[in-house]
Amino acid sequence: MPRWFDALGSRLNRMSSFVITLLAVLSALVVGAVIIILSDVERLGNGEIGAAFSELVTAYSALVRGSVGSLRALSETVNNSTPFIIAGVSVALAFKTGLFNIGATGQMLAGGLATTWVGFVMDGPAIVQIPLALLAGLVGGALFGAIPGVLKARTGAHEVITTIMLNYIASFTILWALDTQLFQRPDRSDPISKFVSDEAMLPKVFGFIGFGDEFPAHSGIVIALLVVAAYWWFLERSKMGFEFQAFGQNADAAEYAGMRAKRLTVVGMVVAGGIAGVAGGIEILGRYGYATQTFAGTIGFDAIAVALLGRSTPLGTVFSAILFGALQSGGREMQVETDINIDLIVVLRALIVMFIAAPLLVKAIWRVKSAQVSTGQTFKGWGS
Amino acid sequence: MRLDLVDITKSFPGVLANDRVSLNVSSGEVLALIGENGAGKSTLMNVLYGMYRPDSGEIRIDGQPATFQSAADAIEAGIGMVHQHFMLVPVFSVAENVVLGVEPTGVLGSLDIAKARQMVKEISDKYHLDLDPDELIENLPVGIQQRVEIVKVLLRDAKIVVFDEPTSVLTPSEILEFFEIVKSLVESGKGVVFITHKLKEALHIADRIAVLRRGKVVGETSPSQADENKIAEMMVGRPVQLVVSKNTAKPGAEVLSVSGLTVLDPDGRTVVDDISFAVRGGEIVGVAGVQGNGQTELIETLTGLRTANDGSVRLGDDDITASSPRLRHEKGMAHIPEDRQRQGLVVGMTIAQNLVLTRYHSPQFSSGASMDWGKVHDAAEELVKNYDVRTNDVDNLASTLSGGNQQKVIVARELSRDLQLAVASQPTRGVDVGSIEYIHSQIVKERDAGTAVLIVSTELDEVMALSDRVLVMYRGKIVAEVDPRVTSAMDIGLYMAGSKPQGVAS
């Protein structure tokens, strides 16, 4: 290894988890590069190694251009990031409470369906319709989140299992609902909902000064940032946030201290579900204008990675959501400009999460030394 | 065999855990290694057992330098370790556990259990361990399980046997039997390293005593040259009051009265069996017993963490049998829990947050939905000062504190308010000598202020030193009530083991 490499390593010595996170992303990009080159069978087969490398350069520069290279690209990134931020907060808050919310997808579907319903049955100005529609999303998601919460508090059923199962239930319930007269668009026979009214759609962020066309990002991002601010206040300043975190870190100590574990479990899942419901609502009002069975996509699952990458902190969740949003929009551009499938983005995300989950590996690769790293067995309990 | 640790230095970022430590132990002798938490005993033993590589210094076996890359190397070199927490498979037999990893095999690699049984039998007979090779581990008492660990070490041909806090799980009579085993090990030429924090035991069994403080060997002595006070002073670096100083109790009215209390565990077994007793204001009542005889369940029921199946608990004039932990707390019950890491603290939160863990919701610290962290901070600074918690910032994480200081945080939180009853379970477990002294004095102070105090400890010495009355628990029942001033530790030990001392009428 060259000297500068070791020097870099010692410079990073004792640096925060932020650095580890950055290095994890970097590691993922490096492995991604190897995958791009190795999967370029055609050029490698012809011995055109140089061409394979230039394909890689094209791919990664398209990734950058497609995510931040223009106002339109930036808009795309903002719109992609918005649901990641909100659903990410949902999962992060559950993590902080010691709950693993894998059900953000189902909660988004439940919330989004409620939002859609309010969006097409109501009339009135945007200022009334949008808040009410999103409130419906909040309630829908919260009710759906309450189910695993109550199941865990009452019967001990683990939320990982119940939320996964409830995702299927949500998915098929919405499929059925979209086939009913109440929701289905009159001129369609496939499961697709009526359009929400125009007033219910979230306005473009800079539409009011005429930039709506050049920068078509919708104002869901504003709501997302408000959600993050509220999450910050909740963690840092609120009484309940203190309870949630005490319970999340040490349930026995929380119970010892007189906090009510069962109530915290239910409330934690309700709040997390409500937030995910808002994410679903914003996808409807900001992006689609109607509901389908798949409008939530894999956002609810990606949100788990977002929360992990952001270490469940408010700011970390925002940054990792933006990274995921950027990868999404950049990936599309990459697919257009090269032969590389957008699924590479899924691989990149998976690699990031894998590296995050294995901090020791990242530290070893980048030669970061840290006081907290222990190896092998330690004699915990000696002399006690 | 002679084992030398020469000038061992091991540092971690910010901590010099071992500073030029030199020790030696030879066949046929017992070296006691004594020191407070964080003195560097664990690091030193990790170095010896091949878990850490020292920064400098070396290990010598019979004068020859040796490097251990792993525990396997250490075992190979003849070093055996009996851990405080046993590493046995409960559903396997004694013989199966003993040969785990070094199984004698027959045709096609099948386990030769007859041979294994034979091996256990031989070692057991040689050292008078009295083991049945076919008994399942889960059916054996802790003292016998420890012998299985010893056989494991001997089977791997250890010449030097290291015991990590071996007596902490044993009853007084089991401790005596354990010392007999140590003696027979020494007689047959083994060297023994005995790691402990119990001064009495070190004095009783060791040939030489090495004292570690802040990573350094501060002195070596022997039982003939030193007494408890001297060793304690070496450990702490200043004279220590080992005896709890207290006046005769002046008991007042009954504060806690328990009658017919019965608790079942989730499997339906009776763990607290029809217990009745009372604690009056101004007295300390101690509950002695070997771990696992229902003390934990009793305390958890008294403090509201477990529900009683039968019987009643009264605090003052109130029946609190079914009250929540928070209500009991508000009625003036303090609870210093058995396991500070598991129940007493959220170590990932700050010292200040932990100091308000049980009363963050009071108007003093919060208004409406929000916390007033400024006030919490101020109150925490006050408490840290008054209760001698050694930290330079109350906003540091609780995990940064030593065991003794963590315990002081709990003591500060629980005792710094008007109380009717203080319940303390293992109040000084894993706490350094200096902090033990301080915590004991706080508990006595609370008693003298008129609070009823209930202490549970598996350290019989502690129960006897602190309590005005001692209740002995065995298999969920209170089997004796004694006056610690006139009853010997040996007799209490017999009650703890379920038998009755001779010559004592029931």
Q: Please give the CATH number for the structural domain made up of A73-325.
A: 1.10.3470
Dihedral sign of CA atoms B416, B420, B422, B423 in order: negative
Q: Which residue in B380, B388, B344 sits closest to B360, CA to CA?
A: B380
Q: Please tell me if residue A249 touches chain B, with a CB cutoff of 8 Å.
A: yes
Which domains, from first to last, does chain B contain?
2-236 (3.40.50.300), 254-348+404-496 (3.40.50.300)
Whether this model's ipTM surpasses 0.90 comes out as no
Contact B495, B287 (CB under 8 A): no
| Cβ count within 10 A of residue B354 | 28
**pLDDT digits 0-9 by tens, A303-318:** 999 998 888 999 999 9
Test the A interface: residue of B85, B214, B345, B357 with most A CBs within 10 Å: B357
Contact (CB<8Å) A14/B164: no
Using alpha carbons, list the distances in angstroms from residue A271 to A267, A312, B251: 6, 15, 51
Contact (CB<8Å) B305/A238: no
Q: In the numeric block, which tokens belong to residue A369?
A: 């030394």
Worst-scoring range by mean pLDDT, A186-200, A339-353, B417-431?
A: A339-353
Task: Give the nearest chain B residue to A240 (CA atoms).
Answer: B369
Size of interface A-B (CB pairs under 8 A): 109
DSSP A2-60: -HHHHHHHHHHTT--HHHHHHHHHHHHHHHHHHHHHHT-HHHHHTT-HHHHHHHHHHHH
Chain A residues in contact with B430 (beta carbon < 8 A): 384
Contact (CB<8Å) B342/A252: yes
Task: Give the nearest chain A residue to B428 (CA atoms).
Answer: A384
Whether A226 has a pLDDT exceeding 60, the answer reads yes
Split at pLDDT 50, 70, 90, the class of A14 is: very low
Contact (CB<8Å) A256/B195: no
Domain ranges of chain A: 73-325
Q: In the numeric block, which tokens belong to residue A293?
A: 């069975």
Contact (CB<8Å) A378/B42: yes
What is the per-residue pLDDT for A37? Answer: 86
Whether A123 has a pLDDT exceeding 80, the answer reads yes
Q: In the numeric block, which tokens belong to residue A299?
A: 């956002």
- Residue B483 makes CB contacts below 8 A (sequence gap 6+) with B469, B470
Test the B interface: residue of A245, A250, A256, A380 with most B CBs within 10 Å: A256
- Residue B92 makes CB contacts below 8 A (sequence gap 6+) with B100, B136, B137
Split at pLDDT 50, 70, 90, the class of A6 is: low
| For helices A261-282 and A71-96, angle between their N-to-C axes, nearest 10 degrees | 170
**pLDDT digits 0-9 by tens, B202-249:** 999 999 999 998 889 999 999 999 888 888 888 888 887 777 778 888
What is the per-residue pLDDT for A371? Answer: 42
Chain A, window 318-377: residues with a beta carbon less than 8 angstroms from a chain B beta carbon: 369-371, 376-377
Whether A369 has a pLDDT exceeding 70, the answer reads no
Split at pLDDT 50, 70, 90, the class of A378 is: very low
What is the per-residue pLDDT for A4? Answer: 54
Q: Which residue in B473, B500, B166 sits closest to B292, CA to CA?
A: B473
Which residues of chain B register pLDDT less than 70?
501-506
Distance (Å) from the C-alpha of residue B503 to the closest C-alpha of chain A? 37
Contact (CB<8Å) B346/A258: no
Q: Please tell me if residue A383 touches chain B, with a CB cutoff of 8 Å.
A: yes
Distance (Å) from the C-alpha of residue B414 to the closest C-alpha of chain A? 11
Contact B78, B153 (CB under 8 A): no
Q: Which residue, chain included where needed, has tokens 């109040």?
A: B427
Average of pLDDT values for A285-302? 94
Task: Give the nearest chain B residue to A380 (CA atoms).
Answer: B42
Q: Which residue, chain included where needed, has tokens 């199941």?
A: A151
Chain A residues in contact with B303 (beta carbon < 8 A): 256
Phi/psi of residue B242, nearest 5 degrees:
-90, -30
Whether A270 has a pLDDT exceeding 70, the answer reads yes
Q: Please tell me if residue A11 touches chain B, with a CB cutoff of 8 Å.
A: no
Q: Report the alpha-carbon distance of residue A106 to residue B237 in Å, rounded.
A: 62
Predicted TM-score of the model (pTM): 0.80
Contact (CB<8Å) B84/A381: yes
Q: In the numeric block, which tokens belong to residue A274?
A: 């409500």
DSSP state letter for B91? T
Distance (Å) from the C-alpha of residue B237 to the closest C-alpha of chain A? 18
- Residue A9 makes CB contacts below 8 A (sequence gap 6+) with A366, A367, A368, A369
What is the per-residue pLDDT for A43? Answer: 78
Chain B residues in contact with A257 (beta carbon < 8 A): 325, 357-358
Contact (CB<8Å) A246/B324: no
- Nearest beta carbon to residue A238 from set B36, B51, B371: B371
Test the B interface: residue of A250, A264, A267 with most B CBs within 10 Å: A250
Average of pLDDT values for A44-56? 82
Whether A75 has a pLDDT exceeding 50, the answer reads yes
